[in-house]
Amino acid sequence: MQRKRKTVGVALGSGGMRGIAHIGVLQVLEEANISIDLVSGASVGAFVGAAYAAEMDLYALGSFAVQLRKKDVLDTPNPFRAGVFSGKKFKKLCSIVTADRPFSETSVPFWCSAVDLCTGRTDYLHEGRLSDAVRASIAIPGLLSPVSLNGKTYIDGGTVEAVPVDILRQNGADVVIGVDLSLSPPYKLKKVNPYEVAFRSVDIMRAAIDRLKPPAADILIRPDVSFMGRLVPHDAQKCISIGRTAAFEALPAIRELLNRNESC
């Protein structure tokens, strides 16, 4: 007698432009015929996860990422807004990679996390246009303007939870594969500017949260993409390759977990 195949969820973590590594991870899982049933994402993980759920070809997504330049990503800075950058260009990129689909038209169930600026609680967005929800999830505090959606004001989903695992458990995932791009202290400071201070502050908060509540994924893939900046695309092909390598290394553990107690 064969038991039902385990339901697999993939949780893609935050990390700015380092999240391009998520593309390489998903490519390898797809090549290895690891069926993905549920997807969640925080911040840039929401961007890549939404593209995947909207059925964008992963290799086309990789080519798209490699061609991105600073002018494609960042608006003209305006320090007098709620965020230095308006995020309009990010929103346009979200619309492109998701074909402007709503959640109701994704190939797999998808959730992206965003933090309510009033309550401090995480909401898992699962309705409306993917691009609207993803733009809310990538609203990096102080850098990208908060987003008003469904009567709430949202900031970056990775602020509280770097890798959104729990939402997948709550929706039936038997096995959760997490992809964590967080950096652990001590941190190297190449230069001190408002952007670096904002990112480092978030890193410090996440590290403190992770010590209290580590990501509860069954398999945690941690590509080392510390070489890459988080606001400007740089050497995206190397970032994808590192994601692929980290996923290849995790495949034996993933297969062992999926095959464990499968038959009786």
- Catalytic residue set: 43, 156
Tell me the torsion sign for CA atoms 69, 228, 37, 122. negative
Q: Which residues, 6+ apart, have CB-to-CB distance to 189 below 8 Å?
A: 196, 200
The DSSP bridge pattern shows strands 38-42 and 8-12 to be parallel
Evaluate whether 130 touches 106 at the Cβ level (below 8 Å): yes
CB 46 within 8 A of CB 155: no
β-sheet bridge partners, residue 227: none
Q: Which residues contact 10 (CB under 8 A, 6 or more apart)?
A: 26, 29, 36, 38, 39, 40, 49, 168, 176, 177, 178, 179
